[in-house]
Amino acid sequence: MSNELAIEKSCMRKCSSRLLPYLLFMFLLCYIDRTNLGFAGIQMSPELGLTASTFGFGAGLFFIGYFIFEVPSNLCLAKFGARRWIARIMVTWGAVAALMCMINGTTSFLVMRFLLGASEAGFYPGVTYFIGEWFPNKYRAAALSRFNLAQPVALVVGSLVSGFLISSLDGVMGWSGWRWLFLVEGIPTIFFGFVTLYYLTDKPADATWLTEEERNWLTNRMAEEAAAIKGANADYSIMKALTHPAVLVLGIAYFLAICEGVYGINMWIPQMLKSWSNMSSMEIGFIGALPFVCAFISVIIFGHSSQVRQERKWHLTVALGMATVALCASMFVTGTIPTMICVCVGAAGMFAAIPLFWTIPAQFLTGTAAATGIAVINSIGNLGGFFGPTAVGMVKDATGDFHYGLLLLGVCVFVGLVLCHVMNNIYGKKVDYSKIEKN
């Protein structure tokens, strides 16, 4: 093994072991605080008199706040540094998440969901941009896959813990279980927000935990790749990145293929199970975790396969194809078990697609333009988190059946699949990394 190859492997091993587990844990907290509403709704909706449409609208309102503040937040991240800004985001959203225990009606429910989205805005694209600053193209898909494992893990852990908290703390000190759920799951985020301020490092050149040789290798590799991307594409300014057609198309693709489907499912699974059976909250917690166990396994399999084969486009297409077929098939099956099998396969496909999707913008955006473009894509895409739950709620109220909502999500994922495939065809082979990786 050559000396430079040894330095590369040592550097990437240190970056992976130091950064990815902590980033995954941060995202786990984020996702629990974002989606625990699904379980809280079992008690909260009847207690506060929320209809399915109102609950779905409130669940999705999070993403309106997210959309409005996403790009400004990522511009601040690029200016002040990832470490400071991500820490600020965590402390703010943790405080809002905990204060949701004080909701007392429809108005406060809608306001707090909007504020939660506004306070969390910029976290996911910020960390995605951060990973892009630390992991070269050769390692980026695997790094993003490991980071995105937090989503299914959070939904499994959140499902089990939320079911336990609602059941065990219901009535303690006169509070309903859903109030304790918000309080108990929001406080840890505040604490780890302050930890983040001291743990993360903004850029490779400042990493004292790397040797001088490792710092130099990583800094030079990232500079070489940025130059190759700029050579294959126009050098986009912030304003051009905001309005670039490819950025807007990818935002729509992310909206349809990922967010509409993912949030349309995970916000409604507890209430779907409740309507299909007579399970207790604890039982719903265990059964409701199954789609995300499948998603966890799928993210690992697709991420590993993509890394070994150094292939992104067809892995992404197959993952979204799985989700499309499964969600559409759910319309034509009856019974809790067959429907849950379809939901499990659909979740596995959509979650596996997320890290693969984020390798597309990295093919034509770098630096501050990348931070801006990723924020635009994520903010447009996350509007699917508003329309997904809202649409499923409205379809449920109109038809009395959740199966029609699942069919709608399947159609949306298919359109997103087509857009992603087209964008991969355009940008997937534009940048030649082979010469860099052989040097």
Task: Count Cβ neighbours within 10 Å for each residue of 344-380 and write b for 16 or more, e otherwise.
Answer: bbbbbbbbbbbbbbbbbbbbbbbbbbbbbbbbbbbbb
Predicted local distance difference test score (pLDDT) of residue 382: 77
Q: Write the pLDDT tens digit of every residue in 287-315.
A: 777 888 888 899 889 988 888 887 888 89
Question: What are the boundaries of each domain within the chain?
Answer: 3-438
Model confidence pLDDT, tens digit, residues 236-273? 555 666 667 888 888 888 888 776 667 667 666 776 77
Q: Is the pTM of this model over 0.85?
A: no
214 vs 124, higher pLDDT: 214
Q: What's domain 3-438's superfamily in CATH?
A: MFS general substrate transporter like domains (1.20.1250.20)
What is the C-alpha separation between 109 and 101, in angstroms, rounded? 10
Of 94 and 310, more confident: 94
pLDDT digits (tens, 9 = 90+) for 161-196: 777 888 788 778 888 888 998 998 899 999 999 999
- Residue 124 in this model has a pLDDT that exceeds 60: yes
Mean of the per-residue pLDDT values for the chain? 82
Q: Does residue 95 have a pLDDT over 90? A: yes
Q: Are 101 and 179 in contact (CB under 8 A)?
A: yes
> What pLDDT, on a 0 to 100 scale, did the predictor assign at position 88?
93
Residue 94: band (very low, low, confident or very high) from pLDDT cuts 50, 70, 90: very high
Is 202 strand, coil or helix? Answer: coil
Rounded average pLDDT over 103-123: 90
CB atoms within 10 A of CB 148: 25
Give the whole-number percent of the chain exceeding pLDDT 70: 87
Q: Which of 79-88, 95-104, 258-267, 335-344 has the highest mean pLDDT?
A: 95-104
Predicted confidence at residue 213, as pLDDT, reads 92
- Residue (of 120, 126, 128) closest to 148 by Cα position: 128
